[in-house]
A and B are shown apart, each in its own frame.
Chain A
C-alpha cells in the first residue's frame, strides 16, 4: 500500500538542490520590467501625476497611470451574495483620484530592467493632498470619523450576529462568568518567494500567457479574461514552482493585473517581482481583530454560554474575488465550537481602514476563535479552582453528540477531541511538569504549560462561493492518461506550493490503479493543460483532489481490466492489477504496459462494446456540506524571562485528526510548518502602522518571522477517523498547526506569569507588552 506510507516528495529534492524554477528564474525575449509608484500616504487625493521626466529617461518604455489604462481593464467590486449587505466599493488596477492605503499604486514604470524602472519611478512627480487617515476600527466607526468611500455613509463594511439559544438569560443565571478583551494584531503570510508574474501578450492571436506565483491558476484565467475582455480560452495561467503561498497568493492582486495590462498595451512580455518592502506594504494582510468575549460556567465547570464581540480592522477594500468577510465569519462561527454549550451569541463589526487589504491567510480566523475560547476556558478553570485539562475533557463534544451542527452553525460529522487530549497526555508528563514548574518558580524561573483545542474547517464545498456569485471552483477533476508505455500522467486541478499534494495524489493513483509510484507523474498548475479546478486553498487537496484522483484511477483501472479480460477471454471480475501487472488469483497474465500498447496501437484487437478509453476524467464535488471538520489538541510549554519579557518556547506537541492520512511524513511537516506560523503570530509577527497609517515594519529587521533557532521541537501524533463522506476518507490538514498554536502559547505564557498575578491577552506577546502586563514598566 502506498497510501499511508511516508513517501518523500520528489519536488523537495529538486528545490533543495537549487534547481527550482520560480517565476523570477524565467526570462523571455524582449521582456520588460515593472516598478510601481506607490502612495507614501495612507489617505490622499492625487492632484496631478507628472510623468514627463520618467518618460524621458533612457531605458524607460512607458509610464502608465490610471488614465492610460482606463480603457484596457475593468474595475471590480468584492461582493458576496451570501452577505448582500456587505459594502463593496469599486476598485481600480491603479488608483484614481484618491489613494486609500500606503503602498497603493498610482503609476507604473515599464523599462528595460527593474533598476531602470525604479530610477523612472523616482522621477514620477505626484502632487498629493494628504487627507486624514483612519487607522483604527474603533475610531473609524465613530460618528465624526472621515468616511473612506464616497458611496458609503460610514466605514462600517458589514455587521452581523450569529445567535443560538438564549445567551442573555444564560449569562444572567450563571454562577461564574469570565470575560477578557483580546487584541490580535495584523500580520501576513510572508512567503519566502514574493509575489511575481510574467505576462506575455500576442496581439495577432489575442492571446495572454501568464506565469505567476499563485495558488489558483483557473481562477486567475477567469479573472484576467473578464477584466481584460479576452476570450477565456485565449488566456493561459501557468504556476511554476511556488515558494510558499499561505493564502496570500490566491487573490487577484492589482499589481499583477497591471502587469497583464502593460503586456497587452505594449505587446511585449512584462515581469513584475515584488520586492520585500512592497510585499509588506501591498500583500494581503490578516488578523487585526479586537475581541471581547465572555464564557459562563456552572459551579462544576460546565460551559453554559459564550458571547463574542469581534471588531474587525479590515483594509481599505474587500479582497477580490473572495472578499474579506471570512475571517470575521470564522471567528463568529467557531469560537467555542469544540464545546457542548447551548447558548451562543457572536457579533461582528467590520470596518474599512486606510491600510492594505486584509484577506485570507492560512487558517483564516481559526487562531483567533481558538485563542479566545481556550483562554476563557483556562480563566474559568482558574476561577473555579479546577484543572483546566479536566474542564476541557468534560465539556468537549464527544460520542453521541455527533453528528451535530454547532451553536455557531458549523456541521461536525465527528470530532475526536477526547481521544486527541488523551493521546497528548501520554506524550507529556503534566504532573511532572507541574512539579518542576513549582521548583523552578522558587528559583525565579517562570515556566508555563498551555493547552489549545482546535477544530479545523477544511475542504470547503462549492456552495460558499457558488452561492456567493464568485467564479471559484470547489469541484475537483482529475484526468488520467495511460501512455503507450503503461506509465500514467495525472492532470489535477490542485496545485502545490510546497505542501506535497502532488505526492499525495500520486499515492492515491498508485494504490487505486495498482501501478508503482514511479510509473505516475502528476501535472498541475497550468490552466490550459489541467482540468478546471480550485487550485489550493482551504485545505482541499487531499480531500477533494485526492477523491477525484481516486475516482479517475478506478475508472482507468476498470478500462484496463476490461481490455485485458477481452484479450484474455477472462471474466473481468476475476482480474486485478498488482504492481503494474494484470493478475488472476495471484497469477500474472499481462502487464499494464502490454494493455497500453495494444490499447493505443492495436485497438482492433479489443472486442467491441467494452470500455476501452485510456484517457479518463472523473470529478468530485460535494453537496450540502460546507466543510469537513478536522480537530486536535496542542500543548505548549514556554519559559518567560520576567525581567526582559522574552518568551522561549520549550516544547510543542500536536495531536491531530484529519481523517485518513495519505502520507504521514508530509502531514506532519504541514502541521509543523503551521505551528511555526502560529508561534510567529503568537510571539513575533506584526505589521505595525503609526497613527497616520504609515507602515513601520517594512523589512525583516522590523517584521520578525519565527526562525529555526527559536523554534522548539514540534512533536506530532495523529488519530485517524476517516470521513464517511468520501471513499478516500481524507480531510484537510493545512490549517491545524496555525489554528491551535496561538492559543497553546498564549495559555502557556499566562500560566507562567499566573503566580505574579498578571495576565496578557494581546498577541504577538512582545517583550514590552509582557513587561507592561507584569507591571515592570
Chain B
C-alpha cells in the first residue's frame, strides 16, 4: 500500500498552477488536503505522473462575505468552514453538515474544493451545494467559467472540470431571513461515510424547497418531484415522504440494498419535516 512514483510540483500562484495544469493536466492530479487522493494513490487506484500541490495558493483560502453571496475558496478546510461566522450566519446548513464529515483529523486537512472535485456521491458538501444553489468557479489558462452545482456533478467521481481546470471557489447566494436549512444523514458510526443523507433548504412555509440527497445515486441529486409536491404545501408531507422513497433509484449494494436506502430517505425526510412542525 505504497503510492507509485510521481513527480511533485508546487506552484506559488494560481497563474503558475494553471500553467502547470495546461501542460500536465492529462497525466497530473491536483492535491490539496490529500484526504481522498492519498488513499487512492496508496491503493494504487490512481497513478498520476505528477502531483500539483496547490496548498500554497493563499487566494484560494479566503471566505468572502459578499453582497448577496458568500464565496468560499477551494482551499478552505472543513474546520475553517465550521468556525466561520459568516458561513454560520448565512448557511447554517453547512455548519450542520461539516459536523458529519469524518473526524477532526480529516476536517483539519480536507478542503471544500477537494471534496467537491472528488465528487464522492456520499459526500456531504456536494449535496449542500445542490440545495444551496451554489455555483462553482472553474479556472484555467483559457479563462474562468461559473458552473451551477447541478451541472457540476457528472457521475461517480466525475465532474464538469476539464483536465486543465482548477476548482477555485464556490459561490453561494444568500437566502432570505426566514430560510430553513436542515441537514441530516444516517451513518453506522460517527464520522463514517453516510449511507444516505438529506439537505433541505426552503423559505418560509415551505416556499421554494430544495431537497438534495447524498449517497443514493451516482452523484448528489435533487428530489425534484418531491420538491414540487412539497412546495408551499406542508399538508402534503405524508405523500412527500412516500414519494421521495420512490423517486430515487439507488444502485445495488451488497451492504445496503436499494430498499434500505429508500427507507432511509423516507425516514430522513419525515424527521426533517417533524422539526418544522410548530
Contacts and interface: CB of A to CB of B under 8 A. Distances in A.
Given A115-B2, A776-B263, A696 B190 contact: no
A704 B188 contact: yes
B43 A684 contact: no
B2 A118 contact: yes
A701 interface: yes
Contacts of A776: 263
Contacts of A766: 255
19 contacts: A113-B2, A115-B5, A118-B4, A119-B5, A275-B1, A277-B1, A643-B263, A644-B264, A688-B255, A704-B188, A704-B192, A707-B189, A707-B191, A766-B255, A768-B257, A768-B260, A777-B257, A777-B259, A777-B263
Contacts of A276: 1
A737 B2 CA distance: 36
Given A277-B43, A684-B188, A707-B189, A119 B259 contact: no
A348 interface: no
A114 B5 CA distance: 12
A373 interface: no
Interface residues of B, number: 26
B152 interface: no
B256 interface: yes
A696 B263 contact: no
B23 interface: no
A429 interface: no
Contacts of A114: 2
Given A113-B2, A646-B188, A767-B186, 19 more contacts: A115-B3, A118-B44, A119-B4, A275-B1, A276-B1, A277-B1, A644-B186, A644-B263, A644-B264, A645-B260, A688-B254, A701-B193, A704-B189, A704-B192, A767-B188, A767-B260, A768-B256, A777-B259, A777-B262
Nearest to B196: A644
A767 B192 CA distance: 14
Contacts of B267: 643-644
A690 interface: yes
A130 interface: no
B245 to A, nearest CB: 10
Contacts of B195: 767
Interface in B239-256: 254-256
Interface in A692-718: 696, 699, 701-702, 704, 707, 709-710
Most buried by B among A275, A684, A777: A777
A766 B44 CA distance: 30
A684 B188 CA distance: 8
B190 A709 contact: yes
Interface in A637-652: 643-646
Interface in A104-139: 113-115, 118-119, 122
Contacts of B192: 701, 704
Contacts of B254: 688, 690, 696
Interface string A741-777: 0000000000000000000000000111001000011
Contacts of A275: 1
A118 B5 CA distance: 11
Nearest to A690: B254
B37 to A, nearest CB: 15
A646 B189 CA distance: 9
Contacts of B43: 277, 699
Interface in B37-91: 43-44
B103 to A, nearest CB: 9
Contact of A702 (B191, B255, B262, B263): B255
Nearest to B257: A768
Interface of B: 1-5, 43-44, 186, 188-193, 195, 254-257, 259-260, 262-264, 267, 270
A768 B186 CA distance: 12
Contacts of B256: 767-768
Nearest to A704: B188
B175 to A, nearest CB: 29
B255 A709 contact: no
A767 B260 CA distance: 8
A767 B267 CA distance: 13
Contact of B260 (A277, A688, A707, A777): A777
A768 B195 CA distance: 11
Most buried by B among A275, A644, A690, A771: A644
Q: Give 6 nearest A-B pairs by CB, closest first.
A: A275-B1, A115-B2, A777-B259, A709-B190, A643-B267, A768-B260
Contacts of B188: 646, 684, 704, 767
Contacts of B193: 701
Contacts of A704: 188-189, 192
A771 B263 contact: yes
Nearest to A114: B2
Contacts of A709: 189-191
B116 to A, nearest CB: 20
A549 to B, nearest CB: 41
A771 B5 contact: no
B56 to A, nearest CB: 26
Contacts of B1: 118, 275-277
A666 B1 CA distance: 35
A710 B189 CA distance: 7
A710 B190 contact: yes
Most buried by A among B3, B188, B256: B188
Nearest to B188: A704
B16 to A, nearest CB: 29
A606 B228 CA distance: 100
Contacts of B262: 777
A638 B189 CA distance: 15
A119 B44 CA distance: 10
A707 B264 CA distance: 23
B196 to A, nearest CB: 9
Given A702-B255, A777-B259, A777-B263, A122 B44 contact: yes
A644 B185 CA distance: 11
B257 A707 contact: no
Contacts of B257: 768, 777
A185 B164 CA distance: 47
A704 B195 CA distance: 13
A696 B260 CA distance: 19
B162 to A, nearest CB: 29
Contacts of B186: 644, 646, 767
B212 to A, nearest CB: 19
A771 B186 CA distance: 14
Nearest to A698: B43
B100 to A, nearest CB: 13
A688 to B, nearest CB: 6
Contacts of A701: 192-193
Contacts of A688: 254-255
A16 to B, nearest CB: 18
A766 B43 CA distance: 27
Contacts of A707: 189-191
Nearest to B263: A777
A685 to B, nearest CB: 11
A305 B275 CA distance: 53
Contacts of A684: 188-189
A777 B245 CA distance: 12
Contacts of B260: 645, 767-768, 771, 777
Nearest to B1: A275
Most buried by A among B190, B192, B263: B263
A709 B189 CA distance: 8
Contacts of A710: 189-190
A708 to B, nearest CB: 9
A701 B253 CA distance: 14
A710 B43 CA distance: 28
Contacts of A767: 186, 188, 195, 256, 260
A119 B267 CA distance: 47
Most buried by A among B189, B257, B270: B189
Nearest to A768: B260
B6 to A, nearest CB: 11
